Amino acid sequence: MSLQGVLSDFGAAEIFQLIAQQRKTGILEIDSDGRTLEVYFSDGHILRARPAESQPDAALAEFLIRTGATSEPDLAEAWQVQGDTLSSLPQVLLEQQYVKKDELDQLLRLISDETIFELFLWDQGGFKFKPQNVSAQDGDMMVGAEMVLLDALRMCDEWSPIRALLPTLDCALAQSVDVEVYRERRTAIESATSMSGEEVDRLFTRCDSRQSARRVIDLSRLGTFQGARGLSAMLKENVVHIEHKAAKPDPLRHTLPAGSLFGKSTLMLVPAALLTAGLFAIPAPRSDSFPLPPAARELAVAQGELQELRAVLESYRWANGQYPDSLGSLRESGGQRLAWIEPARYRYTSLGGSYTLGLRVGPIGSGQ
């Protein structure tokens, strides 16, 4: 079966139905605004869904950082081992005990859920189904396409009311009531969202006015839809409120090795990892009479710049659907507000759905 076209003529729901009814095996590719998503089908069932990857397991690496499952230095080491041994990243993560098996499976399923949810929010773009053999992998869900379709359509229907209460995920949320009052209202939140009390607690306890709603959802590992659904229900029950200020910049964001660095080199990750390790290795000054050493101060300032820049990159992606092509174009998009960004200070590469970022080592040259 040869199937291709544009979403404005043939929607995602119709595509899924056709593949399911004809029990096809292959890969469905959907492109929109330079971003490509892939859904793997086997005999009409969905095995997994991923953003298109220039490097295998890049999406998994991104989610490891987003959800706090591992640190940037640990991920850099895992990539190094993966390049040296040519094992898969999941295998390395398990062998090195960076994550547990159940945690890894949870993240792999979350990637599929997030990809399919994003896909069904698209109404523009092109698609192509490529019949071919598809092998099952660890973490695959093997769910009927029609079942996934029903869930996706339900989520799309509920998304507008959710966004009416929570218009942006860049805002910070703070608790409005004490724990006793929250517990009294939690049952109503559970009923409105079909979430367990434990899942609701995961969200509520992280609403501390310091982290963005996006970060709260990522750390709770509930997915964008379910997490935003829970937060909007909390807003409706007045147990949390939106802080009208920017969320605290988050150091744990999408730092991935570029495709050209596959194998022996992870140079784009190493500077950030070394900065982090070096910063935490330097003891804090004991009093005002022991000022922060110049090297430590420079590291702290550099790390702060990277944190703030990552927060700006996340805001740009939320507004535009992908990361900027260069830091120069990012600065231009923000005018005077982002004039502090000096592209020559950083090594930045956009991968569409992810990026690499680090400080330049040695003399500063021309930046992107």
**DSSP track, 132-174:** ------TT---EEHHHHHHHHHHHHHHHHHHHHH---SSEEEE
- Name the residue with higher pLDDT: 306 or 155: 155
Q: Is the pLDDT of residue 361 over 70?
A: no
215 touches 144 (CB < 8 A)? no
Structure tokens at 96: 């090195």
* Weakest-pLDDT range from 44-58, 96-110, 200-214, 280-294: 280-294
Dist CA 109 CA 351 (whole Å): 22
Q: Is the pLDDT of residue 43 over 70?
A: yes
CB atoms within 10 A of CB 271: 19
How far is the CA of 211 from the CAs of 64, 172, 304, 351, in angstroms?
A: 18, 6, 15, 25
- Name the residue with higher pLDDT: 209 or 365: 209
Most confident of 72-76, 194-198, 334-338: 194-198
Q: How confident is the model at residue 336 (pLDDT cuts 50, 70, 90)?
A: low
* Weakest-pLDDT range from 78-87, 217-226, 359-368: 359-368
Report helix, strand or coil for 360.
coil
pLDDT computed for residue 355 by the predictor: 81
Q: What is the mean pLDDT of residues 351-363?
A: 67
- Name the residue with higher pLDDT: 354 or 165: 165
CB atoms within 10 A of CB 357: 23
pLDDT tens-digit map of 269-322: 333 333 333 333 333 333 333 344 455 445 555 666 776 787 778 777 766 778
Q: Is the pLDDT of residue 156 over 60?
A: yes
Q: Fill in the DSSP letter of residue 39.
A: E
pLDDT computed for residue 337 by the predictor: 65
Structure tokens at 187: 């049952």
pLDDT computed for residue 347 by the predictor: 83
Which residue's entry shows tokens 């029609």? 146
On whether the pTM is more than 0.85, the answer is: no
Most confident of 92-101, 135-144, 232-241, 266-275: 232-241
- Name the residue with higher pLDDT: 234 or 4: 234
Q: What is the mean pLDDT of residues 143-168?
A: 89
Terminal-residue alpha carbon distance, the chain: 43
pLDDT computed for residue 2 by the predictor: 65
Report the percent of the chain where pLDDT is more than 70.
78
